[in-house]
Chains A and B, each alone.
Chain A
Amino acid sequence: MGELHRHPQVIRFAAKLRGLTLVGVLAASSALAQSDPGAQLSASTSFSALDEIGAGNVQRLTGGPVFATGRFGGQAGAPSAAGDLVYIETGFPNAIFALELAQASPSVAWSYAPEPDGRARGLSCCGRTEFGPVLSGAKLYANTLDGRTVALDRRSGNKFWETKLADLSNGETLASPPVVADGKVLVGNAGDEFGARGWIAALDAESGRILWRQFSTGPDAEIGIGPSFSPFDPRDRGTDRGVATWPPSAWQHGGGSVSGRIIYDPELRLVFHGTGRAAPWDAQERPGANRWTSGLFARDPETGQARWFVAFGARDPYARGGVAQDVLLDAPWKGSARKLLLHPDGNGFLYVVDRVSGEMLAADPFTHTDASPEPAGPGAVAGPVPSPDENVVVRDICPAWSGATGAGSPAFSPRTGLLYLPVSRLCMDFEPRHASYLAGTPFIGANIKVKPPKDGTSGALVAWDVQARKAAWSMNEPFPLAGGVLATAGDLVLYGTLDGMIKARDARDGKLLWSFAATDGIIAQPATFNSSNGHQYLAVMTGLGGGFGIAERNMLDPLDQSAGLGLAAALSRLPTLRERSATLYLFRLP
């Protein structure tokens, strides 16, 4: 696909970056000092305690592009910084750059670009695809789309180990960063769209050896279901639900990938991860509850044994999956202090779950949705869910398969008590079609047109009041918000848009305080960190790609309204962007 293999090029933006070294870093990604539990939690909330840049002075930010990676498009990973280096992992073919910002313009301290397996390109489909190096001790861990987990020396880029985890011939890829938990590196696969069976694996952080792997479908022994498992839905206490809730053998290619972020709670010693949509999307071909897809697992990182599970999309007939990113929060709930997990789902509901017990406390719609939550409310058990007939078009279903949220991470600010959700308001016409399973080819079975909603705009930033259980405010966006949101102690919410705007809003009322037009679309979460001279920086990666950017990325033809699973036509009004290289932008106060 006309890949541009330019050499990385440093843009001579005579940056006011002189004498810059970075310490006391907080990146928006999970790339935080894993030993610090407080930091780990803030990774899940995407909140930065830095407040030099704030609502009062953000208008004075200066900066611009400082480093072009030479890699074409698809930059979903935020930069992360540690010590005096800033790390970037590009989209496929994945490359990692360590940048030294000490000089006037950044220089490449080292870079790592393994020979890619081209087959992965055809498999890079449809969902959230995010890369980003994870720093822990002297090591840096990263996943590549073509199925590898690597451990590099953070200072030199030398490789310690590499483990091949995903089997491309089955349609499996890796599409999210790993997470480090207690000396282990946890990795989940992607590939629902190809009928790949979802799994999460743990590698030894020192050697890269595989310690355990647990699946999302199949017999209990392969899922990590044992005596310590207590699911929220009482019907899930039976044995081998991962087999019994499927037509014979359908679980073997039933999807449920672990393609969203995995979150580790060091205090509870639990790992949380969503499971993706069931395969095929045509629900007529998979009668049953299709466990354990489109839900959320809590697991013991030591053994991978499941502690609890909650389902979000009953049968998920419109393929929204359950891998949107969760936020961990310790907050009062109806008068008593609780350890909560907030899960904004692709189906448009915000689920509040007690993360110790797996009890579902609330499910509230945060945007217009036709879905019904499963269970139909706390304490209730869902009834049978109608799924559309094969070869019958169901029109104007909202949200579209791409989800009401999920492509980017939400942020929570403890200062405002608001959860900032990047929302897509796209709807779709959906026609289930018969699909046959052929290893390594799509197992979707749906003919889809995606379109803007009948009323209003295609995107929104929704500020959700967790305690009041309603939106405090909502700001319309012309395009779906595909990148993550960052909240800061300076009472700012920051995010990038598909049409290349970087925006800062007042965290309290949503007022637009500052914006910057970049030359390429943005699907990455902004990051912020402090330099050694004590000044705060805002860092944003541009590079349109991922599900929403696929039209631009793969030169799709929007004349076919089903191109890019419908997204090409729905987003054909996106401006044609000039930049063909994922680029780092840096901003600071003068």
Chain B
Amino acid sequence: MRLVVVMPFAMLALAGCQREERSLRLDPPVEAGLDEVRVMSNGIGGAPPKVYVALGRPYENNAFDLDQGKRLYDWFGCTGCHAHGGGNTGPAFLDGWWQYGADPVSIFVSIRDGRTAGMPAFGRYLTTEQIWQLTGYVQTIGAYSAKTAAPSRNDEMQSRPSENRAPATLGALQPPSR
């Protein structure tokens, strides 16, 4: 008898379990397309690749990608120069003050090509997909509004409010003095 009661719920639950498709490697044409950011001549802002838009801006709101970005952030030594968003020799992200723009294209270009005042170019170490994952994650640290997805919790000593819990607030468009 009891089975009869449970079954419909179990079937409902199973039906809701749609698995997200994920390939080990991006389709080469997609990956190549994702590299085609059209950046403004001053290196700040621009249009994201067509594929990126067509795919529905995948790296900004997908928990898996954000999480990959978070791991890459630690593995590739971003923490050494930017700490966990508070900055070190590199600028802070947490404060929402971006020198080169808060949009994904600016962030992508900063990571891929580096910036003159000491940001190394990581294009030679990372795949295009990884750079987008990092872009999504870095944007989360200094986001102005909460996103619909968040990376998983830290597996290391927590040093700040977790991502997406305390969106950055930008005052009167002034760089924070401390």
Asked if A164 lies at the interface with its beta carbon under 8 angstroms from chain B, I say: no
Asked if A538 lies at the interface with its beta carbon under 8 angstroms from chain B, I say: no
Given the known interface contacts A122-B81, A565-B83, the answer about A560 and B178 at a Cβ–Cβ threshold of 8 Å is no
A559 x B94 contact (CB < 8 A): yes
Within the complex, what minimum Cβ distance (angstroms) separates B110 from chain A? 12
In the assembled complex, the Cα of A126 lies from the Cα of B89 at a distance in Å of 8
In the assembled complex, the Cα of A572 lies from the Cα of B176 at a distance in Å of 13
Given the known interface contacts A122-B119, A442-B80, A447-B79, the answer about A554 and B156 at a Cβ–Cβ threshold of 8 Å is no
Given the known interface contacts A431-B157, A447-B156, A560-B160, the answer about A555 and B83 at a Cβ–Cβ threshold of 8 Å is no
Return chain B residues, CB-CB under 8 Å to A118. Answer: 116-118
Chain B residue at smallest Cβ distance from A122: B118
Within the complex, what minimum Cβ distance (angstroms) separates A169 from chain B? 9
Which of A438, A556, A572 has most chain B Cβ within 10 Å? A556
Given the known interface contacts A555-B87, A564-B87, the answer about A433 and B156 at a Cβ–Cβ threshold of 8 Å is yes
A562 x B77 contact (CB < 8 A): no
Asked if B152 lies at the interface with its beta carbon under 8 angstroms from chain A, I say: no
For B164-178 the 0/1 string (1 means CB < 8 A from A) is: 001000000001111
B88 x A556 contact (CB < 8 A): yes
In the assembled complex, the Cα of A552 lies from the Cα of B177 at a distance in Å of 7
Asked if A120 lies at the interface with its beta carbon under 8 angstroms from chain B, I say: yes
A120 x B77 contact (CB < 8 A): no
Asked if A443 lies at the interface with its beta carbon under 8 angstroms from chain B, I say: yes
Return chain B residues, CB-CB under 8 Å to A2. Answer: 175
In the assembled complex, the Cα of A294 lies from the Cα of B155 at a distance in Å of 31
Asked if A124 lies at the interface with its beta carbon under 8 angstroms from chain B, I say: yes
Chain B interface, number of residues (Cβ within 8 angstroms): 37
Within the complex, what minimum Cβ distance (angstroms) separates A451 from chain B? 12
Return chain B residues, CB-CB under 8 Å to A551. Answer: 178
Given the known interface contacts A554-B91, A559-B86, A561-B160, the answer about A193 and B177 at a Cβ–Cβ threshold of 8 Å is no
B94 x A560 contact (CB < 8 A): yes
Return chain A residues, CB-CB under 8 Å to B120. Answer: 119, 122, 440-441
Residue among B79, B94, B157 making CB contact with A449, cutoff 8 Å: B157
B77 x A557 contact (CB < 8 A): no
Q: Which of B20-66 contact A (CB under 8 A)?
A: none
In the assembled complex, the Cα of A562 lies from the Cα of B141 at a distance in Å of 14
Given the known interface contacts A440-B120, A568-B86, A576-B177, the answer about A556 and B77 at a Cβ–Cβ threshold of 8 Å is no
B binding-site residues for A, Cβ under 8 Å = 74-77, 79-81, 83-92, 94-95, 97, 116-120, 125, 155-157, 159-161, 166, 175-178
The 6 A-B residue pairs with the shortest CB-CB distance, nearest first, are A122-B118, A442-B80, A563-B86, A560-B86, A121-B118, A557-B92
Chain A to chain B contacts (Cβ below 8 Å), 15 pairs = A433-B74, A436-B75, A438-B77, A438-B125, A447-B159, A449-B159, A555-B87, A555-B97, A555-B178, A559-B94, A559-B166, A560-B159, A562-B159, A564-B83, A568-B87
